[in-house]
Structure 1
Amino acid sequence: MKMSSNVKAMVRVIFLVAFIGWLMIWVMLPTKLYKNKWTPNLETKLSSTYFGGQGANLLLFSFPVMFIAAFGCAYLHFQNRSTHFNHSKSATALLKRPVLVTAPVGIVSALELTFAAMFVALLIWSLANYLYVSFGHLHMHKQGEKIWEAKFRSVSLRLGYIGNICWAFLFFPVTRGSTLLPLVGLTSESSIKYHIWLGHVSNILFAAHTIGFIIYWAITDQMVEILEWSKTWVSNVAGVIAIVIAVPMWVTSLPHFRRKKFELFFYTHHLYLLYIIFYVLHVGDAYFCMILPGIFLFLIDRYLRFLQSRQRTRLLSACVLPCGVVELNFSKTPGLYYNPTSILFVNVPRISKLQWHPFTVSSNCNMEDDQLSVVIKTQGTWSHKLYREITSSLDHLQVSTEGPYGPNSSHFLMHECLVLVSGGSGITPFISIIREIIFQNQKPNFRVPRVVMICAFKNSADLAILDLLVPISGNPSQITQIQLQIQAYITREKEQPKAETQKPVQTIWFKPGPFDSPIAATLGPNNWLWLGAIISSSFVMFLLLLGIVTRYYIYPIDHNTDQIYHFSYRALWDMFLVCVCVFIVSSAVFVWCKKQNTREGNQIQNTEIATPITSPGAPWFSGADDRELESLPHQCLVQATEICFGSRPDFKKILFDLKESDVGVLACGPRKMRHDVAKICASGLAPNLHFESISFTL
C-alpha cells in the first residue's frame, strides 16, 4: 500500500505541530505565566485521583512524543520505498554543508549549528526565567539566612532544572531502532555525537548543581542535609549517589578513554541503569514524567535488542584476506531488508560475553537474499582475538548479533557524481554502496551516479580489500557496467612489491550449531507496525496501571496531599510500571514474530545453500596475468584502479576538478582525514560539493 504525497505531507504537518507544541511547553515552563496561571489551572483540571500531580506532565510532556513515536511507525511503514531517493536536489543542501570543523565538537553542519544554537538559547532562556521568578519571590530556607545565600541556593537548584531539559533529549540519539530519528532523516550511529554533546552539558550542569548545594550547606552549617532522604520531597542522598555514579561514566567517556581504553569506557557506561534509578528517585515522579518519552522508547529498544541478542546466529564462512581483514558471512532470512552503510553489532562469547562491537554490513540485501556479510579489520585487542579464533581450525564459532541498523533510504543515489573517500578500514561502508549502485544500475531508465573512490592504505597488502567490491552473488561482471574510478594511495611503500609476495585469499567454512538460526527481521525497519503496536500498547498499559495504583492504593493513603505517601515510593512505582509494561508487551510481540521467523528460518536450513564462488584475488601487480575467465570482473576492477606509492591524496585538487553540478562526498576513516575533506567542502569554493561523514566518533 502506497501513501500519496498529499497524505504524507499532511501527516508530516501533524507530527510537526505536535513536536512544536511539545517544544513550546518547554519554552513556557520556566515563565511566570506558566507558574502562576497555567499551573493552577492544569492542576485543577488534570490532577485527578487517578494520576495525582503527574497528570499534567503526562499530558503535556509525555503524550506528544509518544504520539509521534507510535504513529510515526505507521507512517514509515506505508510510505513508498521507491520514494526514498530521487535525483532532485535537496532544498536543505546548503543547510547540511559543514560550517564548523574542529576536534572538540567534530564536523558540524549549518543545520546542526542552528539547532544547537536554538537549544543553547532554550537553556539560557530557561535559566534566566527561573531565576527571575525565583528572585522575585525569594524563599529563605533557614532562619537568619542572608539574601545572597538564598540566591546562591536558588541558582544551584535551577541549574539542576536546566540539566533536566538535557535529559529530555539525551536518550533519543542512542535508541537504535528509533522511530523518531528516521522521520528527520537521521540514524542512531550518525546521532551519537548529539548524545555526547548532551551528556557533557548535562553532567556539567549537574556537577555545578551538586557542588553549589554542597557549598551552600557548608556556609550555612547544614552539611547534615547531604544525608537526608526526605519522605515528602526530593532525596538529597539519591542525588549524591546519582552524581557519584555519573562522574566515572563522564570521565571514561572522554575521547582519550574511548580511543585508548575502550573496555573501561564500555563497562563503566553500563552504570547508566543505576544512574537513571537514583536520578529518578532524586527528582520524583512529576519530573520523571517530563523526561519519560526518551527513557520509555530507549527501554523498549534496549529490551528488544536484549531479546534478539539471546539468539545464536548461524555463521556460514569467513573470508580471510592477506591484509588481516576478515569478512564474516552469516545466514539470513530473505525477508530481512536493510540499506547500504547499515551496522551489525557482533558478540563472540568465546572472546567476551559482554562486549558488542559494531561493524559495517558489506553485503546487499537485493543481491544476496540469504546471506549477510560484515567486514572486520584486525586492529584492536578484540578483533585480533577473533582473527586467531577464526584461523585456529575451528569448525564452529558461536556468535550473536544485533541489528542491522542503518539509514531509512539510499539517499546517496540522488547525486550526479559520488566521491567515496576512505582511509584504511574506512572503505568498508562503501562496499555496500558500490553493490547497491550495481543493483540499481540493472533497472531500466534508472540513472546511477558516477563513482570516484579515493582510498588511502598503509601497505600494498591492503589493496586486497578492493576484491570485496565484486559481489559474490548474482552476475559479478555487472561491476563492469557502472562508471567506477578508483584511486588507491599506498602511504608507507615507495615502490611496487613483487607479485609473488602476494598471499592468497583464504576461505574458512563453519558447521552450523544445533541452536543457530539465520539473522531475521527484528522489530524496527522491517516491522514498523509491530514496533508501533509495542510503543502504543505499552504506554497505554502504563497509563492504565498507573491510574489503578494511584486511585486504589496511593490516593486512599494520602488523598493527594503529598504528606503521607513516600515521595520516593511514587517514583519507584512509575519506574516499576514502565518496566513491567515494556517487558510484557515487548516479550509477547517478540515471541510472536520469532515464531514467524522460525518457520522461515527452518525453510532456509532445510534448503541447501549454494557455496559461493571464492574470490580468486585481483592481479594487482604484474606477473599475475594468467587468469581464468571468471576473474574478468577482477581484471576490470584492476583496470579501473590507479595505484600511487609513497604519496597521499591531494583532496583539494581531486574535489575541485570535478565538473558535475551535484557531487556527493562521503568520507570514512581517520578523524584528521574526514576533517580535511570536510574543510574543503565547507570552504564554499566549490558549491557543487555536498559532504557527509560516516563515523561513530566526532
Structure 2
Amino acid sequence: MGSRTLPLNTICFVVFLAWLLVWVLLPTKIYKQTWTPKLNSNLNSTYFREQGTNLLLFSFPIMLISFLGCVYLHLQKKPRLNPKSEMKCNCVTFSRRPVLVMAPLGILTALELTFVVMFIALMIWSLGNYLYVSFGHLHMHKAGEKVWQAKFRSVSLRLGYIGNTCWAFLFFPVTRASSILPLVGLKSESSIKYHIWLGHLSNLLFVAHTVGFIIYWAMTDQMIELLEWSKTYVSNLAGMIATVIAVVMWVTSMPRFRRKMFEVFFYTHHLYIIFIIFYVLHVGSAYFCMILPGIFLFVVDRYLRFLQSRKRARLLSARLLPCDVVELNFSKSAELYYNPTSILFINVPSISKLQWHPFTVTSNCNMEQDKLSIVCKSEGSWTQRLYQEISSSIDRLEVSVEGPYGPNSADFLRHETLVMVCGGSGISPFISIIREIIFQSTKPDYQAPNVHLICAFKNFSDLSMLDLLLPISGTPAEISKLQLQIEVYVTREIEQPKTDTQKLLQSLWFKPNPVDSPISTALGPKTWLWLGAIIASSFVMFLLLLGIITRYYIYPIERNGTEVYHYSYKCLWDMFLVCACIFIASSAVFLWCKKENDHREEKQIQNVEVPTPTTSPGSWLYSADRELESLPNQSLVEATKVHFGERPNLKKILFGLKGSDVGVLVCGPKKMRYEVAKICASGLADNLHFESISFNW
C-alpha cells in the first residue's frame, strides 16, 4: 500500500510547495517586474489572453493535487486496527498534541498552530511587499493629488489584494467530500473553524478596502467613481454591492446571532452565490483564476450533494427516548462504507424545505450492513419539531440526506487504552466507536483496547442514551470479552428516581414506500475514483471551451486594438463555463452510477422485520426489577457505575490511567473540551494523546 501511494504523496507535496511559493513571491518586485512580463508573453496567448498565467500558476496545481488526492484515497485500504503492531512516531504524536487552548481560537494542535502562524506570516509578508513595491512606483490618479492621498489609495487597494488571498483558501474547509483535506489529516466538520477565521479576516479586509476607497474618493472629489461600471476595468459598483452582501452575511454569522436566530443565519449565508458573482465582476477574470480552485471544487461538491438529496431516504423505524432524543434508522446500500464518528446531513421538508442539519451516525456499517442510524437531541426549534412530529405516530416521514461524511480512517482505535469523555448528547460519536470495537473484537487477530467511557448527564433520564450503545439486533455475545468501563455522573440529581416515574422507550415503525431509496453515496462504491474523473474532465472541458471562445470569439474583437471586449462579459463567460462544465461532467457520471446502483438495489433484499425491543430506557440499569435478557446487556450492567450529584474529576481520572499509549477523545460542551485539552497539553502525562470531536459550528 505504501509503495503505491508514496509517489502520489510526493507529487502532491512538491506541487503544493510550489503553489505556496508562488503566493509568497506574488507581491514581490521580482514577480511583478521580472517574472510577470516573461510569463505573460509566453502564457497569455490568444487562447487565454490575460488569464493564461494565473490559470497555470494558481489554478492548475490545486486541481492536479485534488485529482491525485482522489486516486490516493481510492487506493487507500481500510487500516489494520492492531495497536501492538503499529510503531508510534514521536513527531506525529507531538504534532497532534494540543499546545494552545484559548477562546475564541479553541483547541489548536502543534500542526494547526504552525499552519496558522505560517498563514499570518504570509499575510504580513504580502501586505508589506505590496506596499513597498507600490510606494516605490506611486501613481497619481488625478491632477493635483497629494502624495499621502496616493499612498492612502494604495493601502486601500492592497488590503483588497490580501482579502483575495484569503478567498483562495476560504472554500477548502467547507468542501465536505474533499480530497485535499485528508492529505493533511483534516476532516471537513473539524475544519469549519478555518472557514470561520478566514471569513472574518476576509470580510474585515474587504470592508477596510471599500471604506478606504470611499474616503479616498471623498477627499479627492471623485464620489461619482462609486457608481462606475467600467467597460475596460474593474467595476466599482459591483464591488460595493459585493461588500454590502458580505457585511450582511458577516453580521448574521456572528456566534450569538447564529445561535439565537439560526434560520436567519442559514438563509442569509446562501447570499454567497450573489456575492461571488458581483465579487468576480469586480476583480476580473484574471484575479478570479487565482481563487478558482477552491470555488471550483466547492461547486463540484455542492452539485453532487444536490443530486444525492433529490432522492428520498427510506426511513425504517425510530426509537424515542425519554430524554427527548430520537434515533432514526434508515435503510442503506450494502456497498456504502463509512468510519466511526461520521455525520449525516438530513432535511425534513415537512419542517423546512431548505434547512439541513448534521447529526452523528451511531450505527456501524460492519455490524449493520443494511441500516444506518443517527441520533437527534431535541434542543433547538427544528429538532423539537422533528421529535414532536415523530412522536405523533405518523406512518411515514419524508427525509432527504447528504452524506455520510467522516474521517478516512479510524486511527484512534489503535491505542492500547481509549478514554472517551462526553457530556450530554456528546456521547453520540462514541456510540459508533464502541460498536466498531465490538465488531473488531470478533476478529481473532485483533486485540481490543481497554475502553473507559466517562459520561456527564444532567438528569437520570439521560442515561437512556446508553441503551444506544448496542444496536437493536446483531450484537455478538463476545461483547463480554471487552474490557469496558463506564463511569456515569448525574449532576443534577442526588439519587436514582423510582422506576415507575420514568417514561418508557417507544419504538415506531414506518410504512415502506416504493419511492424511497436506501441511503447511498452519489457516486457509488468507487466514490473517490469517480470524483477524480469529474474533477479532471470538468476542468479540462473548462480549459478547452474557454480557449475556443477566447480564440474564436473574444480575440477577433480585440485583435486590431480598436475595440475592447467588455471586462464584465469575460467574467460572466468564466462563471458560466465553470458551472456548465461541472454540470455536464457531474450529471453524466451521476447518471451512470445511478444506473449501476439501481441494479444493485434490485438485488438487495431489505429486511424491515426488526423485533421490537422490550426494554425501557436505561432498562438494564433497573436490574433489581427485571431479569436481564441477554449477555450483551448484562455486560453493560456490570461495566457501568453511576455517581449522583457530582461531576467527574477529569484530572484525577486521566492522570491515573496506566499504559504507554492512551487515546483521549472528548465531545461535549466547550468547557469540558477545553478542560480535557489543557490536561493533555500540560505535559504531566506523556501517555495521553488528545483528539477533540466537535460539531459546534
Q: Shorter-chain TM-score: which interval?
A: over 0.9
Deviation, structure 1 residue 165: 0.6
Deviation, structure 1 residue 561: 5.3
Deviation, structure 1 residue 82: 3.0
- C-alpha distance in 2 between matches for 1:441 and 1:469: 15
Spell out the pairing of 1:430-469 with structure 2 (5 A cutoff): 430-469=430-469
Letter in 2 for 1:21: A
Aligned to 2:18: 21
Q: C-alpha offsets along residues 421-461 of structure 1, whole Å, 9 cap, x if unaligned? A: 11100000000000001111111221221111110101000
Asked if the contact 1:312/1:399 (under 8 Å) is kept, the reply is yes
Aligned to 1:60: 57
Structure 2 residue 615 is matched with structure 1 residue 616: yes
Deviation, structure 1 residue 49: 0.6
Structure 2 residue 572 is matched with structure 1 residue 572: yes
More deviation, 465-474/268-277: 465-474
Query: What is the aligned-residue identity percentage?
Result: 68
Letter in 1 for 2:50: G
- C-alpha distance in 1 between matches for 2:82 and 2:255: 35
- C-alpha distance in 2 between matches for 1:35 and 1:619: 72
Q: C-alpha offsets along residues 103-157 of structure 1, whole Å, 9 cap, x if unaligned? A: 2111111111111000010011111111111011100000000000000000000
Spell out the pairing of 1:148-163 with structure 2 (5 A cutoff): 148-163=148-163
Residues 593/109 of structure 1: CA separation in 2 closer, same or farther (3 Å cut): same
Residues 560/615 of structure 1: CA separation in 2 closer, same or farther (3 Å cut): farther
- C-alpha distance in 1 between matches for 2:683 and 2:550: 59
Asked if the contact 1:470/1:476 (under 8 Å) is kept, the reply is no
Which of 34, 38, 41 does residue 38 from structure 2 map onto? 41
Aligned to 1:479: 479
Residues 450/442 of structure 1: CA separation in 2 closer, same or farther (3 Å cut): same
Asked if the contact 1:178/1:524 (under 8 Å) is kept, the reply is no
Aligned to 1:674: 673
Aligned to 1:95: 95
Asked if the contact 1:330/1:371 (under 8 Å) is kept, the reply is yes
Aligned to 2:325: 325
Structure 2 residue 186 is matched with structure 1 residue 189: no
Aligned to 1:635: 634
Asked if the contact 2:370/2:606 (under 8 Å) is kept, the reply is no
- C-alpha distance in 2 between matches for 1:607 and 1:520: 14
Asked if the contact 1:226/1:236 (under 8 Å) is kept, the reply is yes
Aligned to 1:541: 541
Deviation, structure 1 residue 608: 4.0
Letter in 2 for 1:686: A
- C-alpha distance in 2 between matches for 1:628 and 1:512: 33
- C-alpha distance in 1 between matches for 2:222 and 2:82: 62
- C-alpha distance in 2 between matches for 1:88 and 1:522: 37
- C-alpha distance in 2 between matches for 1:258 and 1:452: 35
- C-alpha distance in 2 between matches for 1:560 and 1:660: 77
Asked if the contact 2:524/2:593 (under 8 Å) is kept, the reply is no
Three-state SS of the structure 2 residue aligned to 1:517 is: coil
Deviation, structure 1 residue 614: 2.1
Three-state SS of the structure 2 residue aligned to 1:82 is: coil
Aligned to 2:140: 140
Aligned to 2:686: 687
Aligned to 1:124: 124
Letter in 1 for 2:72: Y
Spell out the pairing of 1:49-448 with structure 2 (5 A cutoff): 49-82=46-79, 87-90=86-89, 91-448=91-448
- C-alpha distance in 1 between matches for 2:200 and 2:289: 23
Residues 488/115 of structure 1: CA separation in 2 closer, same or farther (3 Å cut): same
Aligned to 2:656: 657
Asked if the contact 2:134/2:154 (under 8 Å) is kept, the reply is yes
Q: C-alpha offsets along residues 559-581 of structure 1, whole Å, 9 cap, x if unaligned? A: 29596111111111000000000
- C-alpha distance in 2 between matches for 1:45 and 1:64: 18
Three-state SS of the structure 1 residue aligned to 2:372 is: strand
Aligned to 2:488: 488
- C-alpha distance in 2 between matches for 1:620 and 1:648: 23
Asked if the contact 1:89/1:414 (under 8 Å) is kept, the reply is no
Residues 560/190 of structure 1: CA separation in 2 closer, same or farther (3 Å cut): farther
Instruction: Give the alignment's TM-score, normalised by structure 2.
Output: 0.97
Aligned to 2:498: 498
Letter in 1 for 2:574: D
- C-alpha distance in 1 between matches for 2:19 and 2:562: 27
Residues 640/568 of structure 1: CA separation in 2 closer, same or farther (3 Å cut): same
Letter in 2 for 1:22: W
- C-alpha distance in 1 between matches for 2:377 and 2:250: 29
Asked if the contact 1:333/1:518 (under 8 Å) is kept, the reply is yes
Asked if the contact 2:345/2:358 (under 8 Å) is kept, the reply is yes
Q: C-alpha offsets along residues 280-323 of structure 1, whole Å, 9 cap, x if unaligned? A: 11000000000000000000000000111111000000011121
Asked if the contact 2:335/2:525 (under 8 Å) is kept, the reply is no
Three-state SS of the structure 1 residue aligned to 2:666 is: strand
Q: C-alpha offsets along residues 334-367 of structure 1, whole Å, 9 cap, x if unaligned? A: 0000000000001100000001000000000001
Deviation, structure 1 residue 85: 7.9
- C-alpha distance in 2 between matches for 1:289 and 1:676: 44
Residues 608/440 of structure 1: CA separation in 2 closer, same or farther (3 Å cut): closer
Three-state SS of the structure 2 residue aligned to 1:350 is: coil
Three-state SS of the structure 2 residue aligned to 1:138 is: coil
Asked if the contact 1:331/1:519 (under 8 Å) is kept, the reply is yes
Letter in 2 for 1:684: G
Deviation, structure 1 residue 635: 2.4
- C-alpha distance in 1 between matches for 2:365 and 2:33: 57
Deviation, structure 1 residue 217: 0.6
Structure 2 residue 591 is matched with structure 1 residue 594: no
Letter in 2 for 1:128: G
- C-alpha distance in 1 between matches for 2:613 and 2:433: 21
- C-alpha distance in 2 between matches for 1:524 and 1:294: 24
- C-alpha distance in 2 between matches for 1:194 and 1:562: 47
Count of matched residue pairs: 693
More deviation, 180-189/475-484: 475-484
Aligned to 1:647: 646
What is the alpha-carbon root mean square deviation over aligned residues?
Answer: 1.6
Where in structure 2 are there 5+ consecutive unaligned residues?
none
Three-state SS of the structure 1 residue aligned to 2:363 is: coil
Aligned to 1:532: 532
- C-alpha distance in 2 between matches for 1:238 and 1:158: 18
Three-state SS of the structure 1 residue aligned to 2:231 is: coil
- C-alpha distance in 1 between matches for 2:525 and 2:65: 16
- C-alpha distance in 1 between matches for 2:479 and 2:623: 24
- C-alpha distance in 2 between matches for 1:288 and 1:219: 30
- C-alpha distance in 1 between matches for 2:475 and 2:308: 33
Deviation, structure 1 residue 623: 6.3
More deviation, 358-367/475-484: 475-484
Asked if the contact 1:49/1:560 (under 8 Å) is kept, the reply is no
- C-alpha distance in 2 between matches for 1:649 and 1:589: 51
Three-state SS of the structure 1 residue aligned to 2:92 is: coil
Letter in 2 for 1:639: E
- C-alpha distance in 2 between matches for 1:638 and 1:601: 39
Three-state SS of the structure 2 residue aligned to 1:644 is: strand
- C-alpha distance in 2 between matches for 1:317 and 1:511: 9
Three-state SS of the structure 2 residue aligned to 1:81 is: coil
Three-state SS of the structure 2 residue aligned to 1:208 is: helix
Three-state SS of the structure 2 residue aligned to 1:94 is: helix
Q: C-alpha offsets along residues 18-57 of structure 1, whole Å, 9 cap, x if unaligned? A: 0000000001111111111110100111111100010111
